[in-house]
Chains A and B, each alone.
Chain A
Amino acid sequence: MEIRPILASLRKHRIPATLIVLEIALACAVLCNAVFMIGQRVASIHWSNAIDEQGISVVTVNGADPKLAASDIPRNLAALRGIAGVTAVAAATSMPLDQNPALSPFVTKPDANTTVNSSVYFIGSDGERAMGLRLLQGRWFNADEYAGSGFKNFASTGHVALVTQSDANRLWPRQSALGKTLYSNSASWTVVGVVADVLAQDPKFSGPGGMYSSVFYPLQPDGVMGDYVLRSAPQDRERVEREAVQVLGKLQQGAVVEGKTYAGMRSDYFADTTSMVWMLVLVCVVMLAVTAFGIVGLTSFWVQQRRRQIGIRRAVGATRGHILSYFRTENFLLSTAGVLAGMALAFGINLYLMEHYEMSRMPWYYLPGSAIALWLLGQLAVFGPALRAAAVPPVVATRSV
């Protein structure tokens, strides 16, 4: 395809050509950044979490008398074990994604400092099985450690802790974490096991440094344990959660009992993110539609304006294919100019967002990705008007002269 005549014709119609280029450039810039934001958010919705998310239900008991906890908790656990389909039950202080952060800084030397705040979890006997933690190294807590560990001022009075793989790598790079001493403020514990990465109680608050930084302690029945974690087969979880709320509601009169499946907790935590994703998708779709209709409108007008010229070209021997490809090439040239400007603009917007918002650098492939999307959109939009142009009969050339 010869492009010189196209360029000559575009030079004659500078303003409409500039408008199409501008529109494509803006659409490309917005699309790049919006898709990047969608990608980041979708990735956060799917953050991995090494517990049995599908099988867990959590029932929270708040406002029970803490002085009776030592007898209440074993009684409650026994009652919960009686629910059909429950394979493990344990009490705990908090759960990943429960939006109730209990944070502590952990270091490897008594006087060291850190900016990472780790989520602290205290789990009762059998907690590892009820949550479905995955042990990578070392061992679980033994019965003595569960029985001998208390809770004082947010810290464990026991001597042992489990850390996540991320923390093990962060605190003791290229060494085994097993047997090492973990310090927080003036207390210390021995690491007996490393578990696969469990999310923080509020990973958005903890940030990238702290989202997989979690420390687990054993704890004997204690008033601070408000969560009952029940594990069952995924298809039983809704029923198990319902029955557990009833059981605990009867046993803990005067307390506030609320239940949730873990799947529900996860979708609650990411509800904001999910709605933002849908909003971004909606904007992208509508924006692309508007751009496409703009291209259709302008090209149709162009075709109409050039009916005579098209007729003449047809009369002197151009085939329909020639006319079709003329308009498609013209659109391709305009789109190319548009996406080139758009990619530069997208990059600029990304730099601005990095400066003013918590946004990371956009990976390079988003740029050619949106460029290809807009090229395709342009070709799709121009197809209708181009077909109409190709349908112009050569006889038009002879009329009205």
Chain B
Amino acid sequence: MFAYYLDLALRSLRRNKVLTMLMVLALALGIGATITTLTVLKLLSGDPLPQKSTQLFYPQLDPYPKDQPFSRSGKKLPWLMSYVDAMNLLHARKAQRQAVMALSQVKVTPQAQDGKAFYADGVLTTSDFFPMFDAPFQYGAGWASADDESREQVVVIAGFLNDKLFGGANSVGRTIRIEDHDFRIIGVLRPWAPQPRFYAVHLGGRDYGKGEAVFMPLQGARADGITPNTVMSYGPEHTDMQHLETAQSIWLGLWVQLSSADEASAYKLFLANYAQQQVALGRFQLSRVAFWDLMSWLRNEQVVPDDVRLQAGLALGFLLICVVNTVGLLLAKCLRRSREIGVRRALGASRGAIFAQFMVEAGIVGVAGGMLGLGFAELGLWGIRHQPAQYASLAHLDLSMFLFTFLVALVSSLIAGLLPAWRACVVAPAPQLKAS
């Protein structure tokens, strides 16, 4: 029966080529726009570390001192931590793993004679950074926790920097000149850039993109005068960049790894106690704290750009218009065939058979629309890859989105087909036959 309906549907679609083309084109445009924007939205609101994200947490404190007349943070807690608090929490070692971090633009000077200096993104952090974030090493390894304090001048570099400077060879043990100081390379990462760049949010880094080039121990880098991108002063004085460690400034992010809900609630309690203790010591004005798991933190900070969400909404609205349009055109087609339906009904076709026939026709329009829509989506994503946005290079159609395209196409065309098919199957055969 299905094959017969298919044949009938194809005949009917061929009979009215312009109308068929209009339906397929409209549906394809709607689907193309929707899939393009949803792919980008999915990409940007994704989980940066799927295997780890439920174990990673971001604590926040309110460091405003007691002797200040007002807190400058308002309702929201400050994004970052002061050096003193970050170090206190780091050294408490209450979590399975913990690392503090800041981002910095650093000058890298190649050793080659004619090598031109360039700027690269750097991370100033502590030893747990690599195991905590599952950063994979191509060569070598990260530094030991003892090196955090010893101001060792070591560095881990990203694979793309290793390719650029050393042609991808094992560069462990060689030196690299950063901000006019020599650092010894101890590790080279494989390509690694979780998206969104969750730990770079508010540290003056990009929210998306290829990731940082160099990773240095915080103390060692600070000893060489490397300064973070983002420094915010909360005290009465402007920040003294030479003495960031004692300044009333926030510039560090702290991430901790906790493997169970019990550990997480224990850490939250520890954090609350710490803040209360600081109030008691006269350091803090308020004992407010916040404690986010990775995904809630990303949602709360609205990392996904508004424009991307607006585009997705707009595309859905557009798809709705296209579906309504297809309903109208299918209806027009099917009502024009009242006589044919009358004949088929008179010859014994049941209502269900007529309904099925028209749904098959709608389904064909859907599949054709889906295929063309996939083409439009690829075109749209190609367009996005040529945009100036940070996430441009990431925009690719993945398999799940590919399948989703056909699902969307089929479902929307079947929804569009329901009304016309229903109208067709309730056509009373007698008047149609009489009229001829």
Contact = CB atoms under 8 A, between A and B. Distances in A.
B287 to A, nearest CB: 21
Interface in B307-336: 307, 309-311, 314-315, 317-318, 320-322, 324-325, 327-329, 331-333, 335-336
Nearest to B107: A63
Interface in A243-271: 254-256, 268, 271
B55 interface: no
Given A26-B317, A275-B387, A111 B238 contact: no
Interface string A276-300: 1001100100110011011001101
* Residue among A15, A65, A305 facing the most chain B CB atoms (10 A cut-off): A15
A187 B70 CA distance: 18
Nearest to A63: B107
Contacts of A115: 74
A367 to B, nearest CB: 17
A291 B321 contact: yes
Contacts of B333: 301
Contacts of A275: 387-389
A271 B116 CA distance: 28
A358 B239 CA distance: 31
Contacts of B239: 153-154
Contacts of B70: 113
B403 interface: no
A186 B29 CA distance: 59
A304 interface: yes
Nearest to B241: A153
B262 interface: no
Interface in A132-157: 152-155
A105 B117 CA distance: 35
B29 A62 contact: no
Interface string A20-45: 10110011011000100100000000
B318 A287 contact: yes
Given A15-B423, A63-B107, A287-B318, A294 B325 contact: yes
Contacts of B321: 23, 26-27, 30, 287, 290-291
Contact of A19 (B235, B318, B327): B327
B389 A298 contact: no
Contact of A15 (B26, B387, B389, B419): B419
Nearest to B315: A283
Given A154-B238, A185-B238, A305 B335 contact: yes
Nearest to B376: A286
A16 B328 contact: yes
Nearest to A273: B307
Contacts of A287: 318, 321
Interface string B24-59: 001001100100000000000000000000000000
Contact of B336 (A27, A65, A301): A301
A314 B321 CA distance: 36
Given A26-B320, A29-B317, A153-B237, A256 B119 contact: yes
B398 interface: no
B179 interface: yes
B46 to A, nearest CB: 20
Contacts of B84: none
B423 A290 contact: no
Kindly state the interface size class of chain B when it binds its partner. Answer: 35 or more
A254 B109 contact: yes
A65 B180 CA distance: 9
Given A272-B389, A283-B318, A297 B238 contact: no
B362 to A, nearest CB: 15
B62 to A, nearest CB: 16
Given A15-B331, A15-B423, A256 B69 contact: no
Contact of A297 (B30, B116, B329): B329
A19 B324 contact: yes
A105 B419 CA distance: 61
Nearest to B29: A286
B44 to A, nearest CB: 14
A357 interface: yes
Given A113-B72, A271-B388, A305-B335, A34 B314 contact: yes
* Residue among B19, B180, B237, B307 facing the most chain A CB atoms (10 A cut-off): B307
Contacts of A357: 306, 309-310
B359 to A, nearest CB: 17
B238 A23 contact: no
B328 A294 contact: yes
A86 to B, nearest CB: 25
Contacts of B315: 283
A305 B336 contact: yes
Contacts of B335: 16, 301, 305
Given A271-B388, A283-B314, A357-B306, A16 B331 contact: yes
Interface string B369-387: 0000000000000000001
Interface string A337-370: 0000000000000000100011000000000000
A54 interface: no
B317 A104 contact: no
A19 B328 contact: yes
Contact of A256 (B30, B117, B233, B389): B117
B236 interface: yes
Contact of A187 (B19, B238, B314): B238
A153 B116 CA distance: 30
A302 B328 CA distance: 11
B313 to A, nearest CB: 8
B67 interface: no
A217 B306 CA distance: 35
A389 B199 CA distance: 66
B182 to A, nearest CB: 14
B233 A23 contact: no
B149 interface: no
B7 interface: no
A276 B388 CA distance: 11
A276 B306 CA distance: 11
* Residue among A26, A111, A152 facing the most chain B CB atoms (10 A cut-off): A26
B25 to A, nearest CB: 8
A287 to B, nearest CB: 6
Given A19-B327, A275-B389, A280 B237 contact: no
Interface in B235-252: 235-241
B166 interface: no
A298 B70 CA distance: 66
Given A256-B107, A301-B335, A63 B179 contact: yes
A304 B336 CA distance: 9
B328 A23 contact: yes
B10 interface: no
A255 B240 CA distance: 24
B22 interface: yes
B74 A23 contact: no
Nearest to A113: B70
22 contacts: A16-B335, A19-B328, A62-B105, A63-B107, A115-B74, A153-B241, A154-B239, A185-B235, A185-B238, A256-B107, A256-B116, A272-B387, A272-B388, A275-B389, A280-B314, A283-B318, A286-B29, A290-B30, A290-B321, A297-B19, A297-B328, A300-B332
The 5 closest A-B pairs by CB, nearest first: A301-B332, A271-B388, A63-B107, A294-B325, A153-B238
Interface of A: 15-16, 19-20, 22-23, 26-27, 29-30, 34, 37, 62-63, 65, 104-105, 111, 113, 115, 152-155, 184-187, 254-256, 268, 271-272, 275-276, 279-280, 283, 286-287, 290-291, 293-294, 297-298, 300-302, 304-305, 353, 357-358
